[in-house]
Structures are given as structure tokens and as C-alpha cells.
Amino acid sequence: MNRPAPPSRDITDDELHALVDGQLAPDRRSAVEEALAHDPAMAAKVAAWHTQRDALRRLHGELLHDPVPAPLTSALDRHLPRQARRSSWMRWGGMAAGVLVAFAAGWLGNAQWSASRSPAAVLAKAPAMREFVHDASIAHVVYAPEKRHPVEVAASEQQHLVQWLSKRLDRPLKVPDLSTLGYTLVGGRLLPGETGARAQFMFEDAVGERVTLYIGTLDARAAGSPPDALKETAFRFASEGPVPSFYWVDQGFGYAVAGKLPRDVLLKLATLAYRDLS
Amino acid sequence: MDARLLVDHIPSLRRYARALTGNAWAADDLVQDTLERACSKWRLWVVGSDLRAWLFTVMHNIFASQVRRTPPPHAVVPLDDATHELHGGIDPGSDQGTGLDLQRCLLQLPEEQRAVLLLVTLEDMSYAEVAKVLGIPAGTVMSRLSRARVRLQELLDGATAPHRPGLRRLK
């Protein structure tokens, strides 16, 4: 190497970080870039940090676009009207609350589910509900890929299926009709849950894409939640399981519609199921 | 105050909390606690000052006190590993897989290094802002950032290399 000694000795690690983060003072930029051109080891380090930074910036990027869960907006809703009054613009307080309700309703996708958001806030922390939604997601990934035995009782015996599962869950069940969205019943199965029997209905579209409806009792007392926390809730989206789901609680009974589908498609299916079941 | 000001920051608070805790439920609980604290301490925010920096400061204080109360930070790891395996089973080689590796490696960094790295990269905060949010000197921001990057790189290189326990090098 006959080149003059690289000027990289003057360059500090802090400056390399600043370069990667776009925070380097403009007058140092050319000196640092010059040093990098002559120092492959340093250039490799900076390149690795760049790659790492880009990867980090993509991490959980979907959360920037996903709708905000209702319990988070209702946290604001509970506090802000009071704050607004205190800061003496009472007239606007009501309006801010109204805007917030409209916001929350919009996020929920449908205003009809915006009722009783306070229990939903409790629900976010209710272990029973987490577990229920997680179970629904797991049950989906376990059975949905099955070619030969996706269900215990096939759709051809729908009447028997419904009677059997209703008896085991101790509650009259109904199979929602999702055919307007192109999904027909494959069948159903009985599954064990933390608080007793659970049922899974499986549906399939023309290309074989499957979606499941998972149903079961939620025991509010066992979950350590206030007695009425799990009676009825807003419609909510869960993305932390292996497949996403929309879920809701109606009269102490939990429902989760799970599938490896885009959020809007899943919402439509869940909406249809909800309407058909209630 | 105007609720919409706060609402605008919720998505980035959620993403930061998610990367910081590695757990969707814990993250949203943290965001919820942050919003509630922010609402009750609203008058501490100086109108016209940087709302984002203030909210992240509030979140940092809550997170730091939670970490102090619950020492075993690895309690969340087994769950994430389980999720990771399931994801891998369904969709091997997808971008999701590397995201989970990255998240897993991030969780192995000490909290204080993770926080600095995430505020700088995810939130694009200036080093001075990070120092203010975390209540530490500027020099500490740089040393934590440096250690976080070097360590994360080692962890990532280890995570993507084929797993051959017999060949593991001992220091």
C-alpha cells in the first residue's frame, strides 16, 4: 500500500453514529466520507449499522398504520372531558369528547360496537380474554392446514354438528352464514378450553382459504375481573397470535374470527358473523 | 387541551412500546398507562414545547419503574420464542421471521441501551432529545448507543448463523 495514511484516526465513533443517524454536522460530513473511502473496515462497520438501522425502522411498522385499539382511545375519553372543564373551556370539552367518540367509532370499523367501551378497557388486561383469543388463533393454525381431517363433523351433517356442539357448550349455537362473502361451512369440532368446552367452526372460500369462528364461555370470576367486565364488549382486533383475529364478547360468551387474511377482509367476515349470530 | 394532539402520537408510542417490551399486550398496557398519566399530569406539559418528547418521557418513567418492580425481564422471552416457532412453521423465510429474530435480539440488550437505540432509530430523535427524554447526559447517550449497536450486531450475526452448538467458541 503506497497510499498516504488514511485520515480515519481523526474520526470518532460518535461521528460514525451521527453519520448513520443523519445527525452529523454538515462540515464534518465530507471528512468522514473521505475517511470511509480509505478504510474498508470502518466502511464495513458503518454499512452494518446502516443495515441494522433500516431493519429496526421496519420493525413493527404496521403499528403506525393499524387502527388504535379502542381501550387506548377510551383511556383519553375517560380523562379528557374532565380536564377540559378544569381548564375552563367546558364548551369545547363536550365537543372534544364527541370528536373522540367519533374517532373511536371509526376505528372500530362500525359505530354499533362502540357501546360499553369501559369494560373493554378492563378486558385488555383480562388474562382470560387474552388466553381465549390466543387459543382461537392457535386452534386456527393447528386445524386450518389439515387436508384430510380439518373438522370432526362435516358440513353435510350440519344439523347434527350444531346440536352436538350446542349440547357440549351448554348453549344454543348457530352457524353464521358467510356465503355472501364466498365462504361456506366446512364443518366444526369440539376443543378443550381453560373454562370448559369450546367450539370451532371452519369456513372455506372457492380457492381453499380458510377462516375459523371460535366460541366459548368466559368465566369472569376465574379471570379475576369485575363481574360484568366480560359480559359484553366492543369489537376488537388481535394481531399477536400466529394469525390475526377479530373478537367480541356477548353475554359472557366469547367469539373470535381468525384467519390468515388481510385485516379488512377479516373485519367483513367478523361483521357478517356478528350480525348473523345476534 | 385537545385530545387530537395526543391521539396523533398513539401509533408511534405503540410501536416504540412494542419494540421495547417485545410483547403486544405489555406494550399496549404501557401505552395506556402513559396516556392516563399524561392526561392526569397534563398541566405539567408546557404548551408549545415538544409534545412527543414529553409523552416519551412519561412513557420512559413508567417503563423504568415497571422494570425496577419486576426484575426478571426474560419472563417474556419464552412466549416470544413460542410465537416465533409458530410463525416459522407457517411462513418460513418471510420478512416476519427476520423481524422476530431482530425483536428477540433486541430483548437481550439491557433496557437502557435498547431505549436509546430505539429512540434514535425508530423515532429519529436527535441525541440531545434522547438525553432529555431519558434524563441522562449526552455522553451517556452516545456510549449506550455504541454498545447497543455493537452488541445487537453480534447477536444478529449469531442468530442468523446456523446453530451448531459443538462449534461455539468460548471466550
Domain count across chain B: 1
Q: Which residue has the cell 377540559?
A: A84
Question: How close A65 comes to chain B (CA, Å)?
Answer: 7
Cα distance between residue A120 and residue A109, in whole Å = 16
CB contact under 8 A, A130 and B25: yes
- Angle of CA points B46, A96, B41, to nearest 5°: 35
CB atoms within 10 A of CB A30: 9
B55 assigned to some structural domain = yes
Q: How confident is the model at residue A275 (pLDDT cuts 50, 70, 90)?
A: confident
Which CATH number belongs to the domain containing residue B38 in this structure?
A: 1.10.1740.10
CB distance A53 to A21 below 8 Å: yes
The alpha carbon of residue A127 is apart from the nearest alpha carbon of chain B, in Å, by 10
Amino acid symbol at B13:
L
pLDDT band at B86 (very low <50, low <70, confident <90, very high): very low
- Cβ–Cβ gap B3/A240 under 8 Å: no
- Chain A residues in contact with B85 (beta carbon < 8 A): none
Asked if the structure places residue B6 within a domain, the reply is yes
| Least CB–CB distance from A87: residue in B1, B126, B153 | B1
β partners of residue B112: none
Backbone φ, ψ for residue B83 (5° rounding): -60, -40
| Structural domain includes residue B129 | no
**Within a domain: residue B43?**
yes
pLDDT, greater one: B23 or B81: B23
> Is residue A43 within 8 Å of A16, Cβ to Cβ?
no
**Strand A245-250 to A253-259 pairing:** antiparallel
Instruction: Tell me which range, A18-22, A111-115, A225-229, is most confidently predicted by mean pLDDT.
Output: A18-22
Minimal Cβ distance to A96: which of B3, B95, B142: B3
Find, among A225, A74, A195, A210, the residue nearest to A131 by Cα: A195
What is the per-residue pLDDT for B5?
75
Name the residue range of residue B52's domain: 1-71
What pTM was estimated for this model as a whole? 0.51
Please check whether residue B51 is in contact with residue B38, taking contact to mean a CB–CB distance below 8 angstroms. Answer: no
* Cross-chain Cβ contact B25/A124 below 8 Å: yes
Which amino acid makes up residue B154? E
A69 contacts on B by Cβ (under 8 Å): 28
Which residues in chain A have their CB less than 8 angstroms from residue B66's CB?
Answer: none
Confidence of residue A168 (pLDDT cuts 50, 70, 90): confident
**Distance in Å, alpha carbon of B23 to nearest chain A alpha carbon:** 8
B28 → closest Cβ in A55, A57, A124 = A124
| Per-domain residue ranges of chain A | 9-59, 66-108, 111-277
Q: Do A52 and B98 touch (CB under 8 A)?
A: no
Q: Which of B1, B14, B121 sits opposite A56 (nearest CB)?
A: B121
pLDDT at res. A217: 86
Q: Is B135 helix (H, G, I), strand (E, B) or coil?
A: coil
Closest by CA position to B156, among listed B124, B117, B120: B117
- Cα angle vertex A203, ends A197, A207, to 5°? 150
- Give how far B61 is from chain A: nearest CA, Å: 18
Highest CATH level, class, for A111-277: alpha beta
**Is residue B118 a part of any domain in this protein?**
no
Is the model more confident about A47 or about B77? A47
Q: Is the pLDDT of residue A118 over 60?
A: no
